[in-house]
Amino acid sequence: MTSRDAFLPVNKQDLANRGWDGVDVVFITGDAYVDHPSFAAALLGRLIESYGWKVGIIAQPRWDRPDDFLALGRPRLCCMISSGAIDSMVAHYTANNKPRSEDPYSPGGKAGLRPDRALISYSSRARQAFGTSVPIIIGGLEASLRKFAHYDYWSDRVRRSMLLDAKADVLVYGMGEYQTIELLQRLEKGEPIDTIGDIRGTATVISNHRFVEKRNEKKIVELPSYDMVSKRDPASNKAEPEALHAYAQSFHLQMLHENPKGETVLIQRSADRIIWCNPPSVPIDSQLFDFIHELPYTRKWHPDYDRFGGVSALKEVQFSITSNRGCFGSCSFCAITSHQGRMISVRSKESMVREAQELSSHDNFKGYIHDVGGPTANFQGPACDLQEERGPCPTKFCLFPEPCRHLKEYHDQYAEKLRAIAAVSKVKKVFVRSGIRFDYLMSVPSEKTRKIFINQLTANHVSGQLKIAPEHIAPHALEAMGKSPVALYEQFLHDFSESSERLGLKQYCIPYFIAAHPGTTLEDSVELALYLKKAKFVPDQVQEFYPTPGTVGTCMYFTGLDPRPGKLFEPVYVPKGRQRSMQRALIHFHKPEHRTLVIEALKLIGRNDLVQILVPRYTPEKQRNKK
């Protein structure tokens, strides 16, 4: 095979090279085509291929005409559409709603190669290209988190289900492997797409008449309707209080039923139509997890991108190994639990060693495995035995407000995987960059176990800096974020530093902090600023809270209410407008360009006494002279 033929086909010449006259499945993606398992188009494309179907990739098509959508002809079974690895609106705009200048998932990092709300644009053009007889199936992160009516930060209003706006036949939510294969198998048998409405991890649109026929088949929970959660006051054009309560209630009900062991169907009415959402798909087992990561990926970007300098997003993952999927953390700002689920899937040590051996033979391999992990590296199995039997607890979390007494720990197993990969010939070093959940580690009852793991981590798996995510230090902020108390963070810092010093290594923890998360006041932000000054730590990066669909924090941001079990309808302070900028400035109080905002924030809360401490070069005389 030539280097081009090793990739999935992207045009009719590629089909001719393979001796194909067409494809069974067209996969349209908002990302550039990178043949690596970290990219959904490649992973699902290779999985589809492994079952014997012919699949082709149309990456970042022009959306002002149908021409690009016809690059592989008309698919025999269906057209599958994803906006890419990240939400198309997040790909285009910052947390302050300003256009981004780069897109790491596009060739050469060029911005603007996918449309806003890509699923809607792509689905419209695909329908125009293929007609009504080719099923349109949407999936990926953008679809998962918009399957019901959702708050849209960019328009500051509630939008209806993506299924309705994209006019798709089926929405696949979650990671999608089981759903994809079952959908294709049933289409192959000749089942019409409008009769395939019972697959776990999928949602469809049904009529009121069809609902009357189906309502006795399943246990059904009805969410507040789109009309109810989107209602606005005509005079002020703001959401009505009743709508905010209904939205929080809707989100709460969704949280209660994110259980892959459950059987509950969620429905939501939107005018004369109904969103019918089946229970989540079960997590993939280790056998399938191993299988999909050992498919014949080239682990390169498509050669069409060479002239642009490639696709920079690959550089972060090209020599990394995925070991797990899912997260049983409870971070309010994160949507992983809604997309990947709270139940952990893991790969076998043997499969990961085989992948390391394959990576070691790659042209560009320099001897370093950059990461071994997933959403949280040290989550390596089910949270507890009860979860394996019944699924996640609907009304409580595994780590928040404190670790559950049933929580299992897997640090020995994770450490063993790291050692096995490090023992592969040509591998010089194995690093951990995807994140150690320090509160989970520090909750391990055995101090000896904690020490052993931290010693292995500091001795062998840190490239000078270890990134961790305390997110804040103020109790109010941490509580709203669903994060652990600062004491666990400080204990981890102490143990990490002690171990590094004992080994004679100059290594540091680099913490991430979030500014302006709902529940965070200016006083909380000042407390964090003083903490950072005392610690003599200057954070390189500060993430400003981004209200993206599907997170608890976004529900808080829109409604001012907490939707979490046990806290439903509790009011939450929401910083907006200039307050968001002030909170961000306080974390970077050392920067000259933030002095004005820092001083304004301190004066606003009556803490003029801190101006000389946080802005040491400031004096009233200098300020007058500047004017």
Q: What angle do CA 466, 469, 474 make, to 5 degrees?
A: 135
Q: What is the pLDDT of residues 271-325, one digit of tens each?
A: 999 999 999 999 999 999 999 999 999 999 999 999 999 999 999 899 999 999 9
Residue 55, H or E segment:
strand 55-59
> Which amino acid, residue 425?
S
Residue 93 β-bridge partners: 99
CA pseudo-torsion sign 93, 94, 97, 99: negative
Q: Can you tell me whether residue 377 is helix, strand or coil?
A: coil
Query: What pLDDT score does 210 carry?
Result: 80
Other C-beta atoms lying within 10 Å of the C-beta of residue 67: 11
Report the C-alpha gap between 462 and 459 in whole angstroms. 7
Mean pLDDT (whole number) for 83-104: 95
Q: What is the pTM (predicted TM-score) of this model?
A: 0.95
Helices (H), 361-425: 385-390, 411-422
Residue 618, Ramachandran bin (φ over 0: left; ψ between -120 and 50: alpha; else beta): beta
* Start-to-end CA span in the chain (Å): 70
pLDDT higher than 80, residue 624: no
pLDDT tens, position by position, 450-467? 999 999 999 999 988 999
Residue 325 structure tokens: 């999927």
Residue 1's pLDDT band, with cuts at 50, 70 and 90, is very low
Mean pLDDT on 593-603: 94
Quickly state the pLDDT bin for 209 (edges 50, 70, 90). confident
* pLDDT given at position 325: 96
**For residue 43, which phi and psi values (nearest 5 degrees)?**
-60, -50
Query: Which residue type occupies 250?
Result: S
Of the candidates 491, 493, 490, 487, the residue with the CA atom closest to the CA atom of residue 466 = 493
Torsion of CA 444, 447, 452, 456, to 10 degrees: 60
pLDDT of 541 above 80:
no
SS3 81: strand
Residue 2: pLDDT above 70? Answer: no
